[in-house]
Amino acid sequence: MLIADDQELVRTGFQMILDAQPDMEVVSAVSDGAAAVAEARRLRPDVCLLDIRMPKLDGLEVTRLLAGPGVTDPLRVVIVTTFDLDEYVYGALRSGATGFLLKDSGPTLLLEAIRAAAHGDALVSPSVTVRLLQHLAQPAAPKPLDEPLTDRELDVVRLIARGRTNQEVAAELFVSLSTVKTHLGSIFTKLGARNRVEIAAWAWESGVVN
Amino acid sequence: MLIADDQELVRTGFQMILDAQPDMEVVSAVSDGAAAVAEARRLRPDVCLLDIRMPKLDGLEVTRLLAGPGVTDPLRVVIVTTFDLDEYVYGALRSGATGFLLKDSGPTLLLEAIRAAAHGDALVSPSVTVRLLQHLAQPAAPKPLDEPLTDRELDVVRLIARGRTNQEVAAELFVSLSTVKTHLGSIFTKLGARNRVEIAAWAWESGVVN
DNA sequence: TACGGCATCGGCCGAACGGCTGATCTTAAG
DNA sequence: CTTAAGATCAGCCGTTCGGCCGATGCCGTA
């Protein structure tokens, strides 16, 4: 087990909790991201407990270096943070973390998360999980449409959502600019959108593009 | 707390674990899905603990009836099952479950899951979570940025991605239209975007918004 | 056959966008 | 103290967007 947190109190708190466990051993506790990477590579602990907000390298960068895509023989990383921000959550998961805990979690969850990570499993704070599940559970029906989009309109939506201009959409669909604008008009009406970015946002939310 | 499981031993086992907790009370324990729905509607427990494989109605059907989309005043449902099947997991989440536990989890996780559900949060078994995260983390690698966006630029990006006009962004951030356009200029350069929809697309792909 | 939905095209016009240059102020780093 | 980076603001100007009007042709159904 390696602990990385810039706050002295948090480090020692974690260490006391973990040292009380017969099956856990803290091999190093550091206060910044660069040291975390160095120690992790030197000691190769089973699990790394990383804060996000740290000097030099933040926890997500450290995770990328230790467990990110392309890393050979990645370590297990559990992110522990005070802040329940979506960017942190998704950033952590993309970086290769196998756990995400808020600091307001009890010690029970902390221990469970570490044991899970040691087995290659992942435990995420319940208050975070509930939001993740919402995204998984309803990739469909973000907006009940009075009138569904036609196939051709969906073609236009998909290209719009990828950042194409009307001219480019016209070229890729082999139609004129006027036609694209006509389809767009229908799309605006049906979705109740006020500009093309709202169309794009709807497309991403509803899973029309991915 | 309501327990529904067709196996006598499991029901009593759960009941013994839960009765030992001062903050929990099992108000009913039934052995099939139809009874679970009836009891849940009559007693309206804070949390329902449901097995999936049950006579008459399976746990997922029960969940749909008690917590599914369109249900007014939904109950909190934790699914407990022996079988770690993807269909079960996704089925449970789509049905409206706020927790998913495998029966090989320890009593600690069971209690944590129930307490989380009571708060409206969701705890999922670590071995299941790790697979869910792979699906979430899959659309990774949107674009490694030469220069990262500043905090303020991210504020602008988030609002742009939600379809706001420059004027609206200015109003919501309490700055002038000129400032927004300046930030946008930097964003265009850093992301290599050609229009605001490409900025929005980057934001959605990278998880800056969701 | 007549009707309606869909796809296709054109023009006009005001508003919004995006690129450009240049400026002040604060804060952090060297 | 000097320098660099970030946040703030301003004007100009060409392009794109989005709304609105109208029009033609195809196809399936009533």
* Protein residues in reach of strand D (CB < 7 A): A 165-167, 181-182, 184-185, 188, 194-197; B 150-153, 173, 175-179, 181-183, 195
Residue A159, SS3 per DSSP: helix
Confidence of residue A132 (pLDDT cuts 50, 70, 90): confident
- A62 touches B: beta carbon within 8 Å: no
Residue B91: the pLDDT is 75
Residue A195, nucleotide of least CA–C1' distance: D18
Residue A62: the pLDDT is 87
The number of helices, as runs of H, and strands, as runs of E, in chain A is 10, 6
CA of A84 to C1' of D6 (A): 26
DSSP character at residue B25: -
- Residues A169-189 as b/e (b if ≥16 CB within 10 A, e otherwise) read bbeebebeeebbeebbeebee
What residues of chain B lie within 8 A of the CB of A165, using their CB? 194-195
Residue B137: the pLDDT is 55
Q: Provide φ and ψ at A55, rounded to 5°.
A: -70, 160
Averaged pLDDT, A112-121: 91
Report the distance separating Cα B101 and Cα B37, nearest Å: 20
What residues of chain B lie within 8 A of the CB of A129, using their CB? 116, 121-124, 129
Report the distance separating Cα A90 and Cα B28, nearest Å: 39
Q: Is residue A45 over pLDDT 60?
A: yes
Residue B45: the pLDDT is 93
What single-letter amino acid sits at B133? L
Residue B76: the pLDDT is 92
Sequence length of chain A is 210
DSSP string of B127-170?
HHHHHHHHHHHSS------SSPPPHHHHHHHHHHHTT--HHHHH
Decide: B78 and A130 in contact? Cβ < 8 Å. no
DSSP character at residue A150: P
Residue A139: the pLDDT is 46
Walk along chain B (210 residues) and give the pLDDT tens digit of each residue: 999 999 888 899 999 999 999 999 999 999 999 999 999 999 999 999 999 888 888 888 888 888 876 678 889 999 998 888 767 777 787 778 888 999 888 888 999 999 999 988 989 998 888 877 766 554 444 555 567 788 889 889 999 999 999 988 998 888 889 999 999 998 998 888 889 999 999 998 888 887
- What mean pLDDT, rounded, does chain A reach? 85
Residue B54: the pLDDT is 87
Decide: B197 and B183 in contact? Cβ < 8 Å. no
Put simply, the answer to whether A193 touches B163 (Cβ < 8 Å) is yes
Span A139-192, pLDDT tens digits: 444 454 567 788 889 889 999 999 999 988 998 888 888 999 999 988 998 888
Neighbouring-strand partners of residue B144: none
Complete edge-to-edge strand list for the sheet that includes strand A76-81: A28-30, A2-4, A47-51, A76-81, A99-102, A123-124
Residue B110: the pLDDT is 92
Which residue, among A65, A85, A94, would best test binding to B if mutated, counting the most B CBs under 10 Å from its CB? A94
What residues of chain B lie within 8 A of the CB of A210, using their CB? 139
| Count of CB atoms situated within 10 Å of the CB of B28 | 17
DSSP character at residue B77: E
Can you give the three-state secondary structure of A48-114, one letter per residue?
Answer: EEEECCCCCCCHHHHHHHHHCCCCCCCCEEEEEECCCCHHHHHHHHHHCCCEEEECCCCHHHHHHHH
Decide: B24 and B50 in contact? Cβ < 8 Å. no
Closest by CA to A124, choosing from B17, B32, B162, B127, is: B127
> CB under 8 Å to B106, separation ≥6 — which residues?
none
Residue A29, SS3 per DSSP: strand
Report the distance separating Cα A93 and Cα A152, nearest Å: 36
Return positions of chain C under 7 A from a protein CB: 6-11, 16-23
Averaged pLDDT, A32-52: 91
- A76 touches B: beta carbon within 8 Å: no
Neighbouring-strand partners of residue A50: A4, A79
Residue A22: the pLDDT is 93
